[in-house]
């Protein structure tokens, strides 16, 4: 029997030391499908962060001493509880983020994949040993937890992003303080509650709700050793600079302008299916969405027609509509921004093949914009240069693969890039030369399996380490090298030379 959680509370509170903290200013959370207030969220402050850090510091010392296998047992129980509450997470994501069911279920699956990888901690935390590096001397390395870590996560993935980061951090023996987007606070709160039910000790996983004031307090607090951030590139750059200046280890993931190159030899129907799925899934509100299709050679007319036909059939509606394939944007401000980008593209001379502003729900309640397809885009246009972060797909036409790769290289973002082709040579050229951290070959959204690390290049990532996978384990631990000797008897004598044989 699937357990049922209580309906999401009218107030999304903090979760500190295993219980709710409910004092503080409040902010309304709007249902993106209706514009109505769904609930309220607390806004923490510097004192809230300090309280969470104090609890986490003590909890991290004890949690770090738990055996790796003991921590993994807890994580496995956590995974079971999250899976059992699947319907609750789907409902919460629909209410606060507007995600339709298929999208929410996909997010849950991806988050659990990373939690599965976290359960491989015994393997991924192994050190190295060098036997007899000098006479009777051995050297070996171990990986130690950092202590207290923090994650600042975005609105577009209310569950997956917090789970991506916290699962690896906890597997490594750290305590984690989550600061979810104030627009989608409840998934992190339920996730933390279920963690405690699974055996995560109080204080090891905390949730501090809030806005910019909480982010700044996290970046400044000397008790936090590492910060992970996901959001826009301008903010990611600031987070990386401020956190690094405070002596923290920081990984800050920013925006994207992902290109999908379509070669003339590609199957146009297959490529069109992929483009529509990758451009309009999650209403285009994901850092791995395809926002530019690059049509190479003479394939543009056929490709645009195929995309338009498919995009015109996408079902747009609220999460409560079982037939909806694409939901609303997160806010009224996001809707206004996306509509301004569409108008700007039209004013710059691009062709609006599909105009999402004409969607039947556009004049009603909620923050809906339908699938938009813009042809004749040039690199000088704002719709090409800017991260629109909405259901707007631009089509750039070029003559050669070299021109397509040059366009990707010239773009300041470098999250993902894909090519659709039947040519192994073209694919190999693309995978070697395209300047992006994640490459897809006949795969439109090249998010790697969770055993591989996630992350882009250029202005899409600030910091050395990628997210999750093996690099996630490196980010959330520090190396300690031990050199040891166990002589049978003191050999005596003082030597000022370097140790030798």
Contact criterion met (CB below 8 Å) for 303 and 397: no
DSSP class of residue 390?
Answer: S
Q: What is the mean pLDDT of residues 28-35?
A: 95
Residue-level pLDDT at 3: 44
Boundaries of every domain in the chain: 11-254+460-482, 258-441
DSSP class of residue 5?
Answer: P
* Range in 44-58, 84-98, 454-468 with the lowest mean pLDDT: 454-468
Sign of CA dihedral 50, 231, 90, 74: negative
Contact criterion met (CB below 8 Å) for 351 and 375: yes
Q: Which residue is it, tokens 């050793």?
A: 225
Residue-level pLDDT at 181: 98
Q: Residue 499 — pLDDT band, cuts 50, 70, 90?
A: low
* Range in 1-10, 15-24, 234-243 with the lowest mean pLDDT: 1-10
Residue closest to 371 by CA, chosen among 345, 353, 395: 353
Residues 6+ apart with CB under 8 A from 456: 253, 254, 256, 287, 413, 414, 415, 416, 436, 437, 438
Cβ burial of 199 (10 Å; 0-12, 13-18, 19+) is middle
Distance of alpha carbon 105 from alpha carbon 100, whole angstroms: 9
The DSSP bridge pattern shows strands 457-458 and 413-414 to be antiparallel
Cβ burial of 267 (10 Å; 0-12, 13-18, 19+) is middle
Residue 266 has pLDDT above 90, yes or no: yes
Q: Which residue is it, tokens 């002589």?
A: 487
Which of left, alpha, beta for 263 (phi over 0: left; psi -120 to 50: alpha)?
beta
Residue closest to 387 by CA, chosen among 305, 237, 287, 281: 287
Residue 28 has pLDDT above 70, yes or no: yes
Residue-level pLDDT at 500: 60
Residue-level pLDDT at 70: 97
pLDDT digits (tens, 9 = 90+) for 316-371: 999 999 999 999 999 999 999 999 999 999 999 999 999 999 876 544 589 999 99
Catalytic residues: 287
DSSP class of residue 357?
Answer: G
Q: Residue 451 — pLDDT band, cuts 50, 70, 90?
A: confident
Distance of alpha carbon 173 from alpha carbon 68, whole angstroms: 8
What's the length of the chain?
501
For the record, the structure tokens of 57 come out as 């510091």
When the pLDDT of each residue in the chain is averaged and rounded to a whole number, the result is 93
Q: For 258-441, CATH number?
A: 3.40.309.10
Distance of alpha carbon 374 from alpha carbon 354, whole angstroms: 7
| CA angle (117, 118, 119) in 5-degree steps | 85
Residue-level pLDDT at 445: 85
Residue-level pLDDT at 487: 86
For the record, the structure tokens of 338 come out as 């996306």
Contact criterion met (CB below 8 Å) for 184 and 153: no
Q: Which residue is it, tokens 């090409």?
A: 384
Q: Residue 501 — pLDDT band, cuts 50, 70, 90?
A: low
Residue 411 has pLDDT above 70, yes or no: yes
For the record, the structure tokens of 487 come out as 């002589």
Residue 91 has pLDDT above 50, yes or no: yes
Residue closest to 471 by CA, chosen among 168, 111, 122: 168
Q: What is the mean pLDDT of residues 236-259?
A: 97
How many CB atoms sit inside 10 A of residue 286's CB? 21
Q: Which residues pair with 139 in a beta bridge?
A: 130, 483
Residue 8 has pLDDT above 60, yes or no: no
- 11-254+460-482: what CATH class? alpha beta
């Amino acid at each position: 029997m699937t357990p049922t959680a209580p309906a999401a509370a009218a107030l999304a509170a903090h979760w500190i030391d295993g219980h709710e903290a409910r004092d503080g200013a409040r902010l309304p959370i709007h249902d993106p499908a209706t514009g109505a207030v769904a609930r309220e969220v607390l806004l923490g402050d510097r004192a809230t962060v300090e309280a969470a850090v104090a609890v986490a510091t003590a909890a991290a010392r004890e949690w770090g001493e738990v055996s790796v296998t003991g921590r993994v047992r807890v994580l496995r129980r956590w995974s079971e509880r999250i899976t059992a509450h699947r319907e609750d997470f789907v409902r919460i994501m629909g209410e606060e983020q507007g995600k339709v069911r298929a999208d929410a279920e996909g997010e849950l699956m991806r988050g659990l994949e990373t939690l599965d990888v976290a359960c491989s901690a015994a393997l991924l935390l192994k050190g190295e040993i060098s036997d007899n590096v000098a006479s009777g001397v051995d050297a070996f390395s171990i990986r130690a937890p950092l202590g207290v870590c923090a994650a600042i996560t975005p609105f577009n993935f209310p569950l997956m992003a917090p789970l991506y980061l916290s699962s690896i951090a906890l597997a490594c023996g750290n305590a984690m303080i989550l600061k979810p987007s104030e627009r989608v606070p409840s998934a992190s709160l339920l996730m933390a509650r279920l963690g405690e039910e699974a055996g995560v000790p109080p204080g090891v996983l905390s949730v501090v709700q809030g806005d910019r004031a909480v982010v700044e307090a996290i970046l400044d607090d000397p008790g936090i050793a590492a910060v992970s951030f996901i959001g826009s590139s301008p903010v990611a750059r600031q987070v990386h600079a401020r956190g690094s200046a405070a002596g923290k280890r920081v990984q800050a993931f920013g925006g994207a302008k992902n290109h999908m190159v379509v070669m003339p030899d590609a199957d146009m129907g297959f490529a069109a299916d992929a483009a529509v799925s990758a451009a309009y899934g999650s209403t285009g509100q994901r850092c791995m969405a395809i926002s530019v299709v690059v049509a190479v050679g003479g394939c543009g007319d056929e490709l645009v027609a195929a995309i338009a036909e498919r995009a015109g059939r996408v079902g747009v509606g609220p999460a409560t509509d079982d037939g909806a394939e694409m939901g609303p944007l997160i806010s009224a401000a996001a809707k206004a921004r996306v509509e301004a980008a569409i108008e700007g593209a039209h004013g710059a001379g691009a062709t609006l093949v599909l105009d999402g502003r004409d969607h039947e729900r556009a004049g009603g309640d909620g923050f809906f914009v339908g699938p938009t397809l813009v042809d004749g885009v040039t690199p000088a246009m704002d719709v090409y240069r800017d991260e629109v972060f909405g259901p707007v797909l631009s089509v750039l036409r070029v003559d050669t693969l070299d021109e397509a790769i040059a366009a990707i290289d010239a773009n300041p973002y470098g999250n993902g890039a894909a090519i659709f082709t039947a040519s192994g040579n073209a694919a190999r050229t693309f995978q070697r030369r395209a300047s992006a951290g994640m490459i897809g070959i006949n795969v439109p959204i090249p998010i790697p399996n969770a055993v591989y690390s996630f992350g882009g290049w250029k202005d899409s990532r600030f910091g050395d380490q990628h997210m999750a996978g093996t690099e996630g384990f490196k980010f959330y631990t520090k190396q300690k090298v031990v050199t040891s000797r166990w002589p049978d008897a003191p050999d005596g004598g003082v030597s000022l030379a370097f140790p030798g044989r």
